[in-house]
Amino acid sequence: MLAEAHRSVCRSGIFPVSPARKPHNAVRPPAAEADLSIKRTPGPMNTESTGEGNLLKKCSAVILRGLTVVLSAAAVSCSHSRIVENPLCGQAGNLRVLRIGVADTATLVDVAVIGYPDSLFAIGGDKPCETPYLTGHPSGRRYRYLGSDDLQIGHRYTHDTTGCMRFAMRFEPLDPAEREIDLTASAESSLNAGGITLVQPDSLCKVPVCRVEGVLSDRPATRALLLCRWLDYDDNVRGIVQKSRVIPVENGCFGCEIPADGDLYILIPWNEYVMSGWYQCQFFAEKGKVRIEWGAEAPTAVEGGRLNAEKASLAAPMRVVEETYGPRIDAFYDQPDEAYMSARVCGIIAQARSETDPDKRDSLIGEFHALSEEELYRPEFHALLSEYRTEMKKAADATLHRAESDVRLGYLPWVISRICSYDRQDDRDGIMRLAGIYAGRFAGNPLGERLGEYLRAASVEVGGRYMDFEAPDRAGAMHRFSDMIEGSCIVLLDMWASWCGPCRRAAMRNKPIYEKYRDRGFVVVSVAREFGSTDALDAAVARDGYEWPVLVELDDRISLWRTYNAGDSGGLLVLIDPATREILARNPSTEQIEQTVSRYCGEE
């Protein structure tokens, strides 16, 4: 289910990839305007394999050779030297410390600077006060920069498509008593790192260790991986950079140590993350080694530990179907000029690409979404997709039955993926029943608790009741949604974002309805999903001239998008009857909104 689909159409920025098979996609960066957002479904990866694999046998040796090179580069020839591999950092932005070589003659700091392709950065400057330095703790002493073989201080570098550049920086030797260091590399705060540990943290000293080792194949552009807990990733996919460790990839191999706490972790290739679409690898951190093999697209094997074995075993039937049909489906997707799509769709795409009027473009997108699958594709491709989905449903039904009859903790990621995409599944009742079983059985587990949240969010649908919440306005004052709509006849909850163009255009189309019925009981409450600050929101409100209340969901602090099962999209419209708390519609059209509002509020 994870091979790339609709490649050329998706690259156009007009239409989403096929729901049949696609990589994990996040929304566009806040600076870009997303015409369509694809709902994020944290599904399990095809990570099953029965053999360790020849490539993995080389991994440890390659990584150890890389560590040896670090000390050699530092010209360390004394008896007191050590290496701190992938140290933990208390504060880090675009500059990440990958490795520290500590010796009597020098301190070598191996760093990676991550960023978006074509973005510029510079380490240090022309003035002496702009030279990088280290600050030791607890001494507070400053350690001078001695030079680098590959870094030019003050030079403006440009990121290539990998989004990752590495440098080895030499500093004065550290006092042996230092336990942490700060690296000040630039006047720009994102290129500095603080709280870099020089000793093994208590989290690794007091609990068993999970050693993660992996091999990448056919991935020359992947120079770094983001590693974080799945719960942090699920909380805020945009904020995972700050919560992630950056794991370097050297000669196609990577490795790190994390606490064997049994949590679910996730790895994401940085070069794919910056392009807003990626394949991910999920694994449980269990005692001992976790070995990962990762091909050009999805991971092919995750081994090590009982939970990972359970997770892989449950996904096996669906993986077999994927491996059987995947190459045949991809052969269609690889055809030029969207040849697998019907002539009607090709015409819509051509019009949308050339259309400059945003409203007309939105209309074409709406026309695209209104087409049935039979109308979307050429007959032979539609037949193949239908066959694929039939076999995949058989495998999914068998997997669901197995998960229900033999409840195991390692099955939780698959169950979560099902409840997150239940609206696209045929057996909705079975999925809801299964989620209820696992949410109850693992109520004390963080993953079980998150499943419970998704289960509650799944009830926020047409015919269900709205979920109340509190959120601040742009001035910071808190408001409860139920208080704001008390006494009204009908309510439109407008969940949007300053960076979501279609959301803002939909709001502008709904303004005449609000002006017509606001004095007869029609209430609109909008909540903007913003990241970092509200500056862009303030500019959007000033430009668009909203007359209804505007609340803020900043950095997903109240998890409103998850509460309303809105995924990672920018927007969602929810039409509500406040008297019964019933949800009347999700994402209704402007015409549907006006018809419903006129029925509730009455015509003049």
In CATH, what number is assigned to the domain containing residue 521?
3.40.30.10
Rounded to whole angstroms, what are the CA distances from 438 to 19, 27, 307, 410? 26, 29, 15, 11
DSSP H or E run through 212: strand 209-216
Report the share of the chain in percent with pLDDT over 90: 55
pLDDT tens across 216-226, in order?
999 999 999 99
Domain count of the fold of the chain: 3
For 195, the token pair is: 């709280």
Note whether residue 398 is domain-resident.
yes
Of 71-85, 98-112, 310-324, 554-568, the poorest mean pLDDT is in: 71-85
Task: Give the pLDDT of residue 202.
Answer: 60
Instruction: Please say which residue of 433, 458, 483 terminates a domain.
Output: 458
Note whether residue 314 is domain-resident.
yes
- Higher local confidence (pLDDT), 189 or 110: 110
Q: Does residue 436 sit in the same domain as residue 541? A: no
Report the share of the chain in percent with pLDDT over 70: 83
Average pLDDT estimate for 162-169: 93
Q: Does residue 64 sit in the same domain as residue 37? A: no
Given a cut of 80, whether residue 377 has pLDDT beyond it is: yes
Q: How many CA atoms does the CB half-sphere of 553 hold within 13 Å? A: 26
Note whether residue 303 is domain-resident.
no
Given a cut of 80, whether residue 567 has pLDDT beyond it is: no
Residue type, 526: S
Q: Does residue 67 sit in the same domain as residue 176? A: yes
Task: Give the pLDDT of residue 425.
Answer: 52
Task: Give the pLDDT of residue 593.
Answer: 94
Instruction: Please say which residue of 458, 488, 518 terminates a domain.
Output: 458
Task: Give the pLDDT of residue 371.
Answer: 85
Query: What does the alpha-carbon distance between residue 500 and residue 492 come to, in Å, rounded to a whole number?
Result: 18
Task: Give the pLDDT of residue 603.
Answer: 66
Rounded to whole angstroms, what are the CA distances from 595 to 419, 526, 588, 600? 32, 20, 10, 9
**Residue 275: which pLDDT band, with cuts at 50, 70 and 90?**
confident
The residue count of the chain comes to 604
Instruction: Please say which residue of 423, 458, 493 terminates a domain.
Output: 458
Task: Give the pLDDT of residue 126.
Answer: 67
Q: Does residue 29 sit in the same domain as residue 140? A: no
Query: What does the alpha-carbon distance between residue 504 and residue 498 come to, in Å, rounded to a whole number?
Result: 7
pLDDT tens across 337-349, in order?
788 899 999 898 8
Decide: residue 13, CB within 10 A, 0-12 exposed, 13-18 middle, 19+ buried: middle
Q: Does residue 379 sit in the same domain as residue 420? A: yes
The domain in which residue 379 lies consists of 7-41+310-458
Question: Are the C-beta atoms of 427 and 400 separated by less than 8 Å?
Answer: yes
**Residue 381: which pLDDT band, with cuts at 50, 70 and 90?**
very high
Average pLDDT estimate for 574-597: 93
Q: Does residue 484 sit in the same domain as residue 526? A: yes
Average pLDDT estimate for 511-530: 94
Note whether residue 304 is domain-resident.
no
Note whether residue 123 is domain-resident.
yes
Average pLDDT estimate for 441-452: 94
Given a cut of 90, whether residue 557 has pLDDT beyond it is: no
Q: Kindly compute the dihedral angle of the four CA atoms of residues 581, 584, 588, 590, in this order, to the nearest 10 degrees.
A: -80
Rounded to whole angstroms, what are the CA distances from 507 to 212, 420, 546, 571? 47, 27, 8, 10
Average pLDDT estimate for 535-551: 93
Task: Give the pLDDT of residue 581.
Answer: 93
Query: What does the alpha-carbon distance between residue 534 and residue 472 come to, in Å, rounded to a whole number?
Result: 12
Residue 543: name the closest of 501, 512, 514 by CA: 501
Q: Does residue 380 sit in the same domain as residue 480? A: no
Note whether residue 537 is domain-resident.
yes
Query: What does the alpha-carbon distance between residue 377 and residue 345 come to, in Å, rounded to a whole number?
Result: 8
Rounded to whole angstroms, what are the CA distances from 520 to 516, 524, 604? 8, 12, 9
Residue 54: name the closest of 197, 341, 253, 248 by CA: 253
Q: Does residue 138 sit in the same domain as residue 173? A: yes
Query: What does the alpha-carbon distance between residue 453 and residue 427 come to, in Å, rounded to a whole number?
Result: 20
Average pLDDT estimate for 224-246: 84
Q: Collapsing DSSP states into helix, strand and coil, what is residue 233?
A: helix
CATH code, domain with 102: 2.60.40
Q: Does residue 594 sit in the same domain as residue 476? A: yes
- The C-alpha R_g of the chain, in whole angstroms, comes to 26
Note whether residue 321 is domain-resident.
yes
Note whether residue 290 is domain-resident.
no
Question: Are the C-beta atoms of 14 and 349 separated by less than 8 Å?
Answer: yes
Q: Give 269's contacts (C-beta < 8 A, 6+ positions apart).
A: 219, 222, 224, 225, 226, 278, 279
> Average model confidence (pLDDT) for the chain?
83
Average pLDDT estimate for 421-427: 60
**Residue 238: which pLDDT band, with cuts at 50, 70 and 90?**
low
In the beta sheet, which residues pair with residue 493? 525, 574
Query: What does the alpha-carbon distance between residue 182 and residue 134 come to, in Å, rounded to a whole number?
Result: 6
pLDDT tens across 22-59, in order?
444 433 333 322 222 222 233 333 333 333 333 433 44
**Residue 604: which pLDDT band, with cuts at 50, 70 and 90?**
low
Q: Does residue 316 sit in the same domain as residue 454? A: yes
Q: Does residue 11 sit in the same domain as residue 125? A: no
Of 37-51, 203-217, 245-259, the poorest mean pLDDT is in: 37-51
**Residue 480: which pLDDT band, with cuts at 50, 70 and 90?**
very high
Q: Does residue 141 sit in the same domain as residue 86? A: yes
Query: What does the alpha-carbon distance between residue 367 and residue 345 come to, in Å, rounded to a whole number?
Result: 9
- This prediction has a pTM of 0.74
Strands (E), 403-535: 470-472, 478-480, 490-496, 522-530
